[in-house]
Each structure stands twice: as structure tokens, then as C-alpha cells.
Structure 1
Amino acid sequence: MRRRPACTFALPLLAAGALWLSTAPALAGVVCPAFDPPRVKVTPQIAPLLRDHTRTIAELATIPGRAPGPAGRSNGHILGLAHARYGEESQFRAMFRSLANGDVCGAPATLAVTFGFQERRLFVARELPRESCIHGEVLRHEMKHIAVDEMLLKEFIPRIQQRLEAVVQRVGTVRRRTQEQAMAAIRQPIDAALKLAMQEFTRERDRRQRQVDSAEEYARVTRSCGGELTRYLPKAGKPRM
């Protein structure tokens, strides 16, 4: 079996642009105009779950991103692995207007974020016959990791939506000497909020997945099926999931 789901995550990708830029002079007073309220949409992404029975126990041990289970990284055998790549992709647009004195006013216009799992693959070692009892036990264990991921994503999407809505509201309208400076002032708090959301998601995911990979769970799977597992191990060693 294996320890907690292996994972890599994509760094935030924020594409930015201007919806429109007006160079019309402002009236006396040089005051920023009112912009339309920003629109924020966070959409969950959950890639199809692919199953792979082609890797051997030895090959599963070489897949990067695994964290050590109760037996430690160098002890035991990897019989199963729930592998996921997750992250976020964002599309951002801002509105700008030039003032008579040369300053530029800017405000967020739209922020569309896709957050979640971009790739999911569930491995069960090739040595375990698919009709065997132990294959079923390993598969059930890995599906617990999958369930944790899906539940966590469901919980985080509305949380991220609310946070980003609050951030763009706080940004409001900015005024700078150039459009580039205005864009930077708008983007910085949005970038920071997305980075924080990813960090929090990763920490909570790690915590919950460690709970699945408890010593008690490993012992239960090892003892299951009347000790059938020992038939398929290449040599003596504790299983890891």
C-alpha cells in the first residue's frame, strides 16, 4: 500500500490585462471616476481519476512526491499510491482611466480562478492480482485518500471565493503615476491572497492525509485477508500505502 497521496502543485499563474484604457481628460479636481463593481468567480477543478496497475512495487517506490508513512521512507514496500497534482490558474482583468494631470486610476474588473486537482492517478502494485482480497484492501485504502482530497476541495472553494471577493473590495480604486504602477498595486494583494490560499490548502491536505495513513490503518490492512499480502512481497518488509 502506500503512504499518503503523493502530490506536486502548480505555482499560481496570474494572467493580467486591461479591459479598457481611456485617455480622455478628467474634469477639474482630478478625481478618480467610479468603476463598475469587480466580478470574482472561483471554479473547482477535479481531473478524472485514472487507475494504473502497470507499476511494480519497486517502481512505485521511485515516484516522486511521496511522504514517509508510519514505517518511514526507507522501510517496507509501496503497494499503492494516490498521486495528485494540484494548483490554481487565474485570469485577471483591470480597468484604467487617465486623469488630466497624467495620473492613472485603476480598479479590478474580473478575476476568474480555477482551483483544484489538475491530475489524479491511483496506482496499485502490479504484483497484486486484481481479483485478490489484498488488492481490494489496498484499493479501498487509496480511495480514502481520494475522498479526503475531494472533500477538502469542496470545503475550500467557497472559502477562497469569499476571501478573494473581500480582497478585491479592499483594493477598490488605486491611483498611480503610470498604468504599470496601478496594475502592480492592484495585483499585489490578489497574488498574496492566492498564495496564502494555496499554502493553507497544502497544510490542511497534509494533515488530513496523515490521519488516513495511521499506524493502525497500516496494521489493519497488513492483517487483512488472512495474511495474503505476504505471498506478493518481493522480500520481508512492512507494507506502505
Structure 2
Amino acid sequence: ATAVPHAEVLEAAKPLLKEKGIDLEIKVFQDYILPNVALKDKDLDANYFQTPGYLALQMKDNKDFDFVSVGEIHKEPIGVYSKKYKSLKDLPNGAKIIMSNSFSDHGRILPIFEKAGLIKLKDGVGANARVEDIIENPKNLDFSTLIEAKLLASSFESGEGDAVVINTNYALEGGVDIGKYGIAFEGDDVVPANLVVVRSEDKDKETIKTFVDVLKSKEIQDFIKEKYKGSVVTVSE
């Protein structure tokens, strides 16, 4: 799991799992690469951090990853944050937009700007959109894709760029004031779910089924709603 919100959600689930005879050990990772490597190496029984698009990309690029999702738990809308501007439409000509180097996020990020009328993407690219798929960019926005997702919050706090696009888990972990600085977010209808992922051979294990049932329980879904107040959304919402 990544630290926020995933590990916090798992901590809340620990006593519920204990009641069902499962002792949960939580391993926190600071990036998106190692959790899948650890799952492949059987250092983990499951991981909880990734979206369907990221999982598909990882399995395509790593032929020894034989994984499957066993449950959708919550959603984290990606947000655009700025200390200088109050809305996307306020961004000036040539504004620098900092976003992660994770290609699976680009198909989520660029439609935010297209929906605001700032860019136009090639027809049909959908969730696979890349910066090179921008065919109209009247304000000549400069999309920078060099930074790891986990470093975006510190880039924002140090004042880099005119706007920084941050995954909600890293915004929360980095202490970014989402309500104050968030100027645009993905629509709830397009936000992909964060998954519990296991090795395919383990998908029918009773302990895995119980684990997912607890994470989907009313107690945990209520915990997510109350703690994150909309910055993290339950799948049932």
C-alpha cells in the first residue's frame, strides 16, 4: 500500500479483520513500482494502490506479472493545484503545467484541460491520451512530464510551475491544502477505482475474499467518507 489513504484505510480495517481471524501486516511503499515487484516475488499476498489502467500497463510491460483485481475499493480524483491562479481559465499563455511521468495518468489528466476548453486532443485517444496527442493548444501550455508522481507535492510546495497536477494520495500525504489550492478535478464519472490486486493463482483464497469484503464493508466505506471528506470517494458513491 501507499501511505495515504491506502495504509490508513488498512489500519482502520485491522481490528475488523482480526475478528475474522486475519492478522494484517501492512507494508508501506513510497512509489508505484515496488508494490507489484513485491507481489510477484511473493513478499506480499495482495497490494492496494493501483488503478485498472496502471495495472494493465504494468502487466503489458512485465510479462512475469500474472495478476488480477479482486475488488474496487475507492477512487481518488486527480487534481490540478495552483498557488497563483484560481481556475484553469486564468492560466496565462505559455503557462507551465507540471504532471507526473506516469503515462497511465496522462489519459486522466489531459481530458481535464480539454473539458475546460484549453486544449483539443486527437479523436479517439481516450484513456491512452499523451501530450503528443494534443492537436490544438491556443495558449501554448507547456506540459512538463519529467517528475515522479511521489515528488509532485514537493514541486507544488516549492512553487514550481504555474500549476501542478497531483494524484490525491500524494496530495494528502504531502499536506497540500486540497480545498484551498485545487482549481480543477477529474469528474467522478471518469475516475478509475483503486484496486486490491493479487496473483492470479490466489484469487479464490478465502482469506483474500474476506479481506476484500471487509474493505467494502459499511464500516470502512464510512471511515473513508468521514476522514477524507470527498477528496477520496468510495466506489459506492
For the criterion TM > 0.5, the same-fold answer is no
* Higher Cα radius of gyration: 1
- Bucket of the pairwise TM-score, normalised by the shorter protein: under 0.3
